[in-house]
Amino acid sequence: MKLLELFNSTVPLLEQSFNYRLVGRGGYNTVAYYGNRNDKIPSLMVMSMDNKPLAESDNFVVITVKPRIAFKKAQEKDKRNGVAYSPLSAQTALINYANSEVEPQSLQYMSIHSDIFNIKEINGRGRMFVYMTTTLGMSVGMFERNLGEVPEIDEGYIDVYGARLFFPENMRPKRKEGFVDLFRQLHKMFYAHSFINLIAGDVRFVKLTGNTLGLYYLATNDIRIKPTAQANNRLLFTMIHEHGHRYWYQFSSEEARKTVRETFTQLQKGGENYVNPNEDSIKQRQQDFYDQIEIGSTVNYKGRKGAFKRHTPMTVKNKEGGNLYLKSGIRDIVAASGSAAAFMNNQWDFEGVEIQPVEDHELHTYGQDSEQWFPTQYSMQDPEEWFAELFALYIMDNLHGKPKAFLETVLRS
Ligand SMILES: [Zn+2]
């Protein structure tokens, strides 16, 4: 099948990995990925440049496309060309280029619209692999299935005591250093607890969806960390947690895993629960905040939500049972309401009221000393997550009492 047919047909999406939805594979010299179901043009195209199938090729062109900017541009006139831009011509340029027809024009077209197309020539499978799986965030599994075997590589990463850290191309050196430092700390901690083998493996700094800071991929034994994360204690905790998953699958015995699963079930049956040690302090501050608020006083919203911004400054219309009702400054409606706690952040400014916001570490209690069987809210998720959370606290020397003794037994068995 030629690429043109591929683009225009209603081939079902074959596979999805983060932003990539594949529309062609196997024996092709080119694969294309759509970012969204409704996109008119692919957001990524990979081509072999030596007439070999992708899996055997050594020379590639990788084109990334920003379909949304392309769509925006469709309504503008391209001044340099005097030609109206259209997604259709963008698609044609891509297809022509991929099919090696009228290549110079297509290439020229794409270079003119460099805000939409990023064309990158890559020599060597190793470099292609690093670029695809790091800067473009494709999973290693998807790479293997679509683009061929994972190559041996000896560049494109930073080695920290056997951990290979892969950073996206555009990451600032300062940021990289921060992450590398964190890994040095991690290594020290593993060393102190005789887990030196655990750090050896791949870690990729790639985009993750939502609030996720880290992920462990069982199939390819690699860890992913959000590249925009702050290199702080919370991230250190997350990284150890992900290594805990690696330990669970690569190093622990079936017997040990069985013990963890059974104990987890017993504890939950027995009604064991996570209790936030900061709960009293948080509740007290919420009460203090609520008590200070006067009906009729002015409230300024400083956040980014358009719906709230439009109605600010608001006034307190009512308070009842711990809830606040804020009246719009422009229309006679309640523009914002909810528990007082929801307003206790730096987006809201209540006239004459002091807010002591609840910090992330108070809510999630990462890296705080604990003797609880379920030391974090997340540890109640399932046996494996429980193990990973206990493991992280243990490695950071924050786990004490009975759960510590239990974990040590598990790690020995
Ligand atoms: Zn986990």
**CA 388 – ligand 1 centroid, Å:** 6
Task: Indicate if 257 and 401 belong to the same structural domain.
Answer: yes
3-state helix, strand, coil in the chain (%, to 5): 40, 20, 40
**CA 220 – ligand 1 centroid, Å:** 16
On whether residue 172 sits in a domain, the answer given is: no
On whether residue 158 sits in a domain, the answer given is: no
On whether residue 23 sits in a domain, the answer given is: yes
On whether residue 121 sits in a domain, the answer given is: yes
- Taking residues 37-66, report their average pLDDT: 81
Task: Indicate if 190 and 321 belong to the same structural domain.
Answer: no
Task: Indicate if 9 and 83 belong to the same structural domain.
Answer: yes
Q: Which pLDDT value is given to residue 85? A: 53
Work out the percent of the chain whose per-residue pLDDT is above 70.
81
| Strands 201-205 and 77-78, sheet pairing | unpaired
Task: Indicate if 12 and 31 belong to the same structural domain.
Answer: yes
**CA 26 – ligand 1 centroid, Å:** 34
**CA 129 – ligand 1 centroid, Å:** 26
- Taking residues 123-143, report their average pLDDT: 92
Domain with 115 in it:
3-147
44 pLDDT tier (thresholds 50, 70, 90):
confident
Q: Is 187 helix (H, G, I), strand (E, B) or coil?
A: helix
101 pLDDT tier (thresholds 50, 70, 90):
very low
**CA 242 – ligand 1 centroid, Å:** 6
223-272 pLDDT tens trace: 999 999 999 999 999 999 999 999 999 999 999 999 999 999 999 999 99
Q: Which pLDDT value is given to residue 358? A: 84
**CA 241 – ligand 1 centroid, Å:** 6
Task: Indicate if 183 and 238 belong to the same structural domain.
Answer: yes
Considering only residues 108 and 135, tell me which one the structure prediction assigns the higher pLDDT. 135
On whether residue 200 sits in a domain, the answer given is: yes
Q: Which pLDDT value is given to residue 6? A: 42
**CA 44 – ligand 1 centroid, Å:** 30
Task: Indicate if 263 and 342 belong to the same structural domain.
Answer: no
Q: Which pLDDT value is given to residue 39? A: 67
State how far the Cα of 60 lies from the Cα of 47, in Å rounded to an integer: 5
| Residue 174 CB contacts under 8 Å (≥ 6 apart), including other chains | none
- What angle do the packed helices 254-269 and 401-412 form, to 10 degrees? 150
**CA 377 – ligand 1 centroid, Å:** 12
**CA 208 – ligand 1 centroid, Å:** 14
DSSP H helices, 348-399, are: 360-364, 383-395
Considering only residues 112 and 31, tell me which one the structure prediction assigns the higher pLDDT. 31
CATH of the domain at 193: 1.10.10
State how far the Cα of 232 lies from the Cα of 236, in Å rounded to an integer: 6
302-305 contacts, C-beta under 8 A, 24 or more apart? 302/346, 302/347, 302/348, 302/349, 303/347, 303/348
State how far the Cα of 204 lies from the Cα of 342, in Å rounded to an integer: 35
**CA 246 – ligand 1 centroid, Å:** 10
Task: Indicate if 87 and 236 belong to the same structural domain.
Answer: no
Q: Which pLDDT value is given to residue 81? A: 56
**CA 243 – ligand 1 centroid, Å:** 9
**CA 329 – ligand 1 centroid, Å:** 45
Ligand 1 is a single-atom ion; what residues have CB below 5 A from it?
Answer: 385, 388
Least trusted range by pLDDT, from 43-57, 121-135, 214-228: 43-57
**CA 255 – ligand 1 centroid, Å:** 20
Least trusted range by pLDDT, from 115-119, 199-203, 212-216, 262-266: 115-119
Among residues 127, 147, 167, the one where a domain terminates is 147
**CA 213 – ligand 1 centroid, Å:** 10
Q: Is the pLDDT of residue 385 over 90?
A: yes
**CA 210 – ligand 1 centroid, Å:** 15
Q: Is the pLDDT of residue 216 over 80?
A: yes
Task: Indicate if 264 and 313 belong to the same structural domain.
Answer: no
On whether residue 370 sits in a domain, the answer given is: no
- The Cβ of residue 165 has, within 10 Å, a number of other Cβ atoms equal to 20
State how far the Cα of 310 lies from the Cα of 351, in Å rounded to an integer: 18
**CA 216 – ligand 1 centroid, Å:** 7
96 pLDDT tier (thresholds 50, 70, 90):
low
**CA 247 – ligand 1 centroid, Å:** 12
Task: Indicate if 293 and 344 belong to the same structural domain.
Answer: yes
State how far the Cα of 327 lies from the Cα of 15, in Å rounded to an integer: 48
83 pLDDT tier (thresholds 50, 70, 90):
low
Using only the alpha carbons of the chain, give its radius of gyration. 27
Number of domains forming the structure of the chain? 3
**CA 396 – ligand 1 centroid, Å:** 16
- The Cβ of residue 221 has, within 10 Å, a number of other Cβ atoms equal to 14
Q: Is the pLDDT of residue 70 over 50?
A: yes
Task: Indicate if 255 and 389 belong to the same structural domain.
Answer: yes
Task: Indicate if 348 and 235 belong to the same structural domain.
Answer: no
User: What integer best gives the mean pLDDT of the chain?
Assistant: 84
210 pLDDT tier (thresholds 50, 70, 90):
confident
**CA 221 – ligand 1 centroid, Å:** 13
On whether residue 157 sits in a domain, the answer given is: no
110 pLDDT tier (thresholds 50, 70, 90):
confident
Q: Which pLDDT value is given to residue 11? A: 41
Say which residue the tokens 């013990």 belong to. 259
- Taking residues 97-103, report their average pLDDT: 52
**CA 192 – ligand 1 centroid, Å:** 23
**CA 34 – ligand 1 centroid, Å:** 29
292-322 pLDDT tens trace: 999 999 999 999 998 899 999 999 999 999 9
Q: Which pLDDT value is given to residue 225? A: 95
**CA 269 – ligand 1 centroid, Å:** 22
**CA 271 – ligand 1 centroid, Å:** 22
* DSSP type of residue 132: I
Task: Indicate if 222 and 317 belong to the same structural domain.
Answer: no
**CA 169 – ligand 1 centroid, Å:** 27
Among residues 147, 164, 196, the one where a domain terminates is 147
On whether residue 107 sits in a domain, the answer given is: yes
**CA 177 – ligand 1 centroid, Å:** 25
122 pLDDT tier (thresholds 50, 70, 90):
very high
Considering only residues 386 and 82, tell me which one the structure prediction assigns the higher pLDDT. 386
Q: Is the pLDDT of residue 173 over 70?
A: yes
State how far the Cα of 100 lies from the Cα of 91, in Å rounded to an integer: 14
